Amino acid sequence: MRYGKVAPWLFITPTILGLVFFRIGPIIAAFLASFTSWNVFSPPQWIGTSNYVELFNSGTFWMILRNTLVFSLMYVMGVMVCGLFLAILVNNRLRAITFFRGLYYLPVITSTVAIGVVWSWILSPRFGVLPNVLADLGVHNIPSFLGDSRYALLTLVMVYIWKMSGYHMILFLAGLQNIPEEYYEAAKIDGATRWQSLRHITLPLLSSTTFFIGIIALIQSLQSFDITMAMTEGGPNYASATLSFFTYINAFVHFRMGYASAMSFVLLIIVGVITFINFYARKYWVETVD
């Protein structure tokens, strides 16, 4: 207790203030608000579970929930596969390798709005560069990637995977660099192929990193507001809207704070359940060096 009893609390005062006012307080408030009808301009009215009833009876909500799951699943798998591929690629000891690491990380630091603008332009029907290249390659009936309700969500995921793979590359790279070199040398002496080394050394020893990345990617995908806002604004007809975007629309466009809070709580429960399952499943599929 050499620091005394008061000093520690003074040191964490800002953190405590932040936790109380911007994390725990709002969670409790959002939970209570989800049982009210509240449009900001007049005081909230307690309406019991009506918001949840309305939510579960709304066709749009189920469609958006489906969109959210599709988006998250594809995003998580996409960034994990691409991130691991990039990490293995830049884990080679080569000249100028740090240059490539930095290059692949560039889309991560660029704002999602700017990324959204340039990709909207690249994909834009008729004058965009990608439809033109595809037409030159002989592809017929090229869809409007962002304007067609069958492809809008898919296109958003692809662009977001393109943007974020570099982030997951760095996390995987950290994991790869923690694997002792001797394991590979021993495998090589035993005549293992590169593929066998990857399959039997890299992947098992990387499993705790993979677990961590899975959770991070999941949370990122559930908060994918920016990319939707920047590229499609949820359209056409909510075909590319996810739960986080739909919450925003209800709260800050329609000013239905209670209804939006109920929605955000559904989002929170999804995050909670998946995180819980993942932590529970962890002991079955994560292996450690020792």
Partner 1 sequence: MKIYRKIALYVLLLFVGSLTVFPFLWMVATSFKSMGEVFRLPPTFTSSALFTDRMWDNYRTVLDQHNFLRYVLNSVIVAGSAALGQLFTCSLGGFAFARMKFRGKNIVFGTLLATMMIPVEVTIIPEYLLMLKLGWYNTYLPLIVPSMLVGSFGTFLFRGFFENIPSSIEEAAFIDGANPWQMFYRVFFPNAKPVSASLIIIAFMNNWNDLLRPVIYLESNRLYTATMGLMQFKGAYGAQWHLLLAASVVSVIPLIVVYISLQKYFVSGMLTSGSKG
Query: Mask of contacts with partner 1, 263-282, x by CB under 8 A?
Result: -xx-xx--xx--x-------
For the bound state, the minimum distance from the C-beta of residue 62 to partner 1, rounded and expressed in Å, comes to: 18
Whether 153 and 240 have beta carbons less than 8 Å apart is answered as yes
Nearer to partner 1, 75 or 248 (CB): 248
Nearer to partner 1, 62 or 279 (CB): 279
Among 78, 166, 214, 234, binds partner 1 (CB under 8 A): 166
210 contributes a contact to partner 1 by CB under 8 A: no
Distance, in Å, from the CA atom of 40 to the CA atom of 25, rounded to the nearest integer, reads 18
Nearer to partner 1, 58 or 111 (CB): 111
160 contributes a contact to partner 1 by CB under 8 A: no
Q: Which residues from 110-139 bind partner 1, rule CB under 8 A?
A: 110-115, 117-119, 121-122, 124, 126-129, 132, 136
For the bound state, the minimum distance from the C-beta of residue 3 to partner 1, rounded and expressed in Å, comes to: 5
180 contributes a contact to partner 1 by CB under 8 A: no
Query: Mask of contacts with partner 1, 3-42, x by CB under 8 A?
Result: xxx-xxx-xx-xxxxxx-xxxxxxx-xx--x------x--
Q: Which residues from 39-98 bind partner 1, rule CB under 8 A?
A: 40, 86, 89-90, 92-94, 98
For the bound state, the minimum distance from the C-beta of residue 136 to partner 1, rounded and expressed in Å, comes to: 8
Based on C-alpha coordinates, what's the Rg of the chain?
Answer: 23
Pick the stretch among 50-58, 66-74, 137-145, 262-270 that binds partner 1 (CB under 8 A).
262-270
203 contributes a contact to partner 1 by CB under 8 A: no
Nearer to partner 1, 24 or 81 (CB): 24
For the bound state, the minimum distance from the C-beta of residue 153 to partner 1, rounded and expressed in Å, comes to: 18
Q: What are phi and psi of 110, to 5 degrees?
A: -80, 145
Q: Which residues from 137-156 bind partner 1, rule CB under 8 A?
A: none
